[in-house]
């Protein structure tokens, strides 16, 4: 049914996002993290641009400088900062663990959405967030932390910036649509990373960087490391995760709400360890299994029907009497 579109978008995004950490893990060591992120986001943004332009024309919106500034801000937060930070965190933590811990971002998204967008948080959503937090505590075991602190720090910064990107992106999708916002932010973020990579080849920049002991950020390769062996993972990461998953994710928020979009990260952590086991051979400990079950319970509670019989997903076809949609009418009940 049409009113369940947002739910299907969310589930599709969750499935594709399951391969994020696995793909990054497979490409670590063969392609520079900045190179991976500038190329995948720039390519996905260009491929998505025609759909974004059509969507913008359908809405009767003309692109202006304010939109460009917003795209640049979103690109900086969600791409320039998040992309390299997230890939670096996978170098210090297991793919399955990274995918599960990343699920803390719905709590940040929900809080920021309530503060910045005035979106209400239902009792069921709150209960789902509590269960998600409990799952993270079970997996991390804060009293006996054995995970790399650098990786945890990088992942924490990733979650913070990614949550802000989701909330600010929601503000733009109400006006321009999900395809246009995704394309614009991807292109701006990809260009920013490319310029950073290009600047690393300038002698008066690369010299001091190397002297400071940060040789990994000097003379960053921009078009190297691609082989027939890693090509399948490049395609999965670039086209499946970056293009497909992000587009479905923004569609879920546009048709439903930020809270619904955040449910992607209740379901994704339950599936990522399974794929990591099958592809990377990473084991699933008892604590991990308990955390996965709590994640699934949190998703089930959040997606359950409220007293009004709705499942927390508003119809994306809902319109006002004059036939036009409003962003406030797409908020979950």
What is the reported pLDDT for 71? 96
CA gap 30, 15 in Å, rounded:
25
Asked if the model's pLDDT at residue 330 lies above 50, the reply is no
Q: 48-62, 172-186, 236-250, 314-328: which range is least confident on average? A: 314-328
Write the CA distances from 309 to 121, 210, 264, 272, 305, integer angstroms: 17, 61, 22, 31, 5
pLDDT one-digit tens code per residue, 246-292: 778 877 877 777 667 767 767 777 788 888 888 888 888 888 888 88
pLDDT one-digit tens code per residue, 163-182: 899 888 887 888 888 889 98
Confidence of residue 306 (pLDDT cuts 50, 70, 90): low
Confidence of residue 38 (pLDDT cuts 50, 70, 90): very high
Mean pLDDT to the nearest integer, 13-33: 88
Asked if the model's pLDDT at residue 154 lies above 80, the reply is yes
pLDDT one-digit tens code per residue, 99-144: 777 777 767 777 788 788 777 777 877 787 788 788 878 877 766 6
What is the reported pLDDT for 69? 95
Asked if the model's pLDDT at residue 232 lies above 90, the reply is yes
What is the reported pLDDT for 317? 44
pLDDT one-digit tens code per residue, 85-97: 888 888 888 888 8
Confidence of residue 301 (pLDDT cuts 50, 70, 90): confident
CA gap 230, 27 in Å, rounded:
7
CA gap 197, 77 in Å, rounded:
17
């Amino acid at each position: 049914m049409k009113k369940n579109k947002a739910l299907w978008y969310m589930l599709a995004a969750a499935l594709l996002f399951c391969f994020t950490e696995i793909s990054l893990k497979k490409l670590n060591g063969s392609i520079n993290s900045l190179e991976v992120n500038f190329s995948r986001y720039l390519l996905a943004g260009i491929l998505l641009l025609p759909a974004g332009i059509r969507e913008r024309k359908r809405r009767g919106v003309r692109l202006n400088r304010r939109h460009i500034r917003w795209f640049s801000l979103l690109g900086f937060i969600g791409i320039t900062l998040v992309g390299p930070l997230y890939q670096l965190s996978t170098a210090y933590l297991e793919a399955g663990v990274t995918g599960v811990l990343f699920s803390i971002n719905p709590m940040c998204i929900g809080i920021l959405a309530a503060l910045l967008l005035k979106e209400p948080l239902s009792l069921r959503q709150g209960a789902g967030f509590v269960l998600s937090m409990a799952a993270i505590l079970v997996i991390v075991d804060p009293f006996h932390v054995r995970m790399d602190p650098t990786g945890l720090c990088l992942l924490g910064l990733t979650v913070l910036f990614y949550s802000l990107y989701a909330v600010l992106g929601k503000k733009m999708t109400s006006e321009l649509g999900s395809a246009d916002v995704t394309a614009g932010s991807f292109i701006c973020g990809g260009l920013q990373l490319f310029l950073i990579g290009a600047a690393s080849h300038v002698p008066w920049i690369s010299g001091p960087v190397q002297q400071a002991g940060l040789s990994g950020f000097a003379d960053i390769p921009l078009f190297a490391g691609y082989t027939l062996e890693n090509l399948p993972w490049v395609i999965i990461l670039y086209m499946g995760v970056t293009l497909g998953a992000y587009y479905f994710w923004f569609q879920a928020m546009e048709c439903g709400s930020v809270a619904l979009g955040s449910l992607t990260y209740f379901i994704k952590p339950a599936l990522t360890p399974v794929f990591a086991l099958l592809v990377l051979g990473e084991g699933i400990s008892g604590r991990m299994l308990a955390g996965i079950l709590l994640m699934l319970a949190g998703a089930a509670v959040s997606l359950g029907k409220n007293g009004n019989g709705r499942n927390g997903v508003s119809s994306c076809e809902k319109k006002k009497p004059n036939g036009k949609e409003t962003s406030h009418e797409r908020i979950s009940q």
